Amino acid sequence: MESLKSQQSTANVPLALANPDESRSKKAGTPHISLMGPSAESIREAKRWLSDLFRSSDHITIQNNFIQHFSGQEYQQLAWFIQDGVSVEEFFTKGHACISLNSESQESVTEAALQVEAMLQEVQKAFVKEETKEIQLMTQSEVLFCDRKPVDVSSHEFIDVVKPFKNSLLSPVKVEKVENTALDILFGLKQSQLQCNSTRKMYQCIPAQFCNMISRVGFHAEIAPPEAPDFGEGIYFAATVEKARDLWRGSKEEYLYFVEAVVLEGNSTRGKPGLIFPPSDSQGSFNSVNGGKEIVVIFSGYQALPRYIITCGK
């Protein structure tokens, strides 16, 4: 059972945002979208996303590696956009799956983008459902407990977690402790399998929409591909907050979201583009690859355990 304990917040977003000056001049009767969410931060994030979408031109590019999970049903929906005068191009560049939408009508492009995002949400829900079943099977658990507990800003725990952010010019506004007993079990099993006694505290910078997924089913390569996958197609982690910001530079969101994790680096070697699993040498397979001392790439999500999610103002 998942428990996300936080107060519900609300906000209103005017629909007519393509011209901000015109929007401000509208009377009180202007249509609005009411937003409700688990926290003030999530509401501000959603408002930012909608505002950017409604201000977009006749071209929108959606970047999300769960596009690779699209099936015939999703591609049929994309074909319908073409019939409505929206050109659709799917492409893959530097480890990122993208869909580009173009039309002479801004309204048509915006509507198509909303539908693609809705499709992605359904694909991601199905992915989490399947991963949950697999985790239950591996841990022999009938019910999975997952929680993200807010950490008191006045506590020593909060101070310790945000200390590495002190020199980053970022302002941590919220820290949530991730508790997931099944992921704890799988991490312990992986640690025994690799015979790896030491762990590393490392960071990953993720999009807002994946905070919940990571707390439920752990790390996956689709969630946070780096700006350039120079050391393989696995799951990237950075040793410092600064290096994490360098690896994931493309965020256009209201906040930055960091996951603090413990990582089993084990026996590691230098990575290279295109790797889908660690290479072998005369003594056997490596456990991970790296991009120097500050970057580790793993190829099994159970080789890392999420501990905290830190929300930062830019």
Q: Which residues contact 72 (CB under 8 A, 6 or more apart)?
A: none
Average pLDDT, the chain: 90
Note the CATH architecture for domain 145-313. Alpha-Beta Complex (3.90)
| The pLDDT value given to residue 25 | 47
2 pLDDT more than 50? no
> For position 83, what pLDDT does the model report?
86
- The pTM for the full model equals 0.88
Distance from C-alpha of 309 to C-alpha of 255, rounded to nearest angstrom: 12
Strands (E), the chain: 2-3, 9-14, 32-37, 59-63, 87-93, 96-102, 146-150, 171-180, 200-206, 235-238, 255-263, 268-270, 280-281, 284-285, 288-290, 295-298, 304-313
Return the pLDDT at 149: 96
> 163, 151, 149, 187: which is closest to 241 by C-alpha?
163
pLDDT tens for each residue of 239-297:
999 999 999 997 889 999 999 999 999 999 999 999 999 998 777 789 999 999 999 99
Does the pLDDT value for residue 309 go beyond 70?
yes
User: What band does 57 get if pLDDT is binned at 50, 70 and 90?
Assistant: confident
Tens-place pLDDT, residues 111-167: 999 999 999 999 999 999 999 999 999 999 887 889 999 999 999 999 999 999 998
pLDDT at 156: 98
* pLDDT > 70: percent of the chain: 90
The structural domains of the chain, with segments of one domain joined by +, span 2-129, 145-313
